[in-house]
Structure 1
Amino acid sequence: MIAPWKTGLALALTMAISYTVCALLYALWPAQGIAFLNALFHGLDFGRLEMPQAYTVATFVGPLLVLILWGLMVGTLFAWLYDMFHGKSH
């Protein structure tokens, strides 16, 4: 049995940590971040999406909150469905 809320929280925290590391690396080395995305997505040009404004706390916190909420909901739903399909419910 998987605890839905604990699973949701674990996914939310994992997403928050990985987003924070990614944002920090991009803030420090934006050109390398764009180059990495270009390579990761087989040459798509992400340079056109580069932000013309400075990277601020607000541009970090908004997406972070969305990812935390999304991770909590998806992780909780995953665990609930897992338990349901394995004959266990809370």
Structure 2
Amino acid sequence: MSNNQPWKTGLALALAIAVVYFVCAILYGLWPEKGIDFLNALFHGLDFHKLATPVPFTFSMFLYPLLVLMVWGFLVGTIFAWLHDLLHGRRR
């Protein structure tokens, strides 16, 4: 990996998560039933239809999870890069 700054890996993961989440949210906003079907398939048949609500998809329902996932991705990516460098003998 040879990353001099682990925060760059964290930022890259956070941005990748943001892009994927954005696409997912758009698709879910357009076709919620298909989105739930995809989620069921992704999680080996767990039935997410039971969690569906008649509440419309709002901007706050989009923004809060996006921020949470980006912070989580940044932290995980940064820790991963730091540990990777540490385990491969590249100390700062």
Query: Which TM bucket (shorter chain)?
Result: over 0.9
The residue correspondences of 1:3-22 to structure 2 (distance < 5 A) are: 3-22=5-24
TM-score w.r.t. the length of structure 2 is: 0.92
Return structure 1 stretches of 4+ with deviation > 4 angstroms.
none
The number of residues matched between the two structures is 90
| Greater mean alpha carbon deviation, residues 48-57 or residues 80-89 | 48-57
Shift of 1:87: 0.6
Aligned residue type for 1:54: P
Match of 2:73 in 1: 71
| Greater mean alpha carbon deviation, residues 44-53 or residues 9-18 | 44-53
Aligned residue type for 1:76: T
Match of 2:83 in 1: 81
Match of 1:36 in 2: 38
2-structure distance, mates of 1:45, 1:84: 42
CA deviation profile, 1:14-41 (whole Å, cap 9, x unmatched): 0000000001000000111111122222
| Greater mean alpha carbon deviation, residues 10-19 or residues 42-51 | 42-51
2-structure distance, mates of 1:63, 1:23: 10
TM-score w.r.t. the length of structure 1 is: 0.93
Structure 2: where are the runs of 5+ without partners? Answer: none
Q: Cα RMSD over matched residues?
A: 1.0
Match of 1:60 in 2: 62
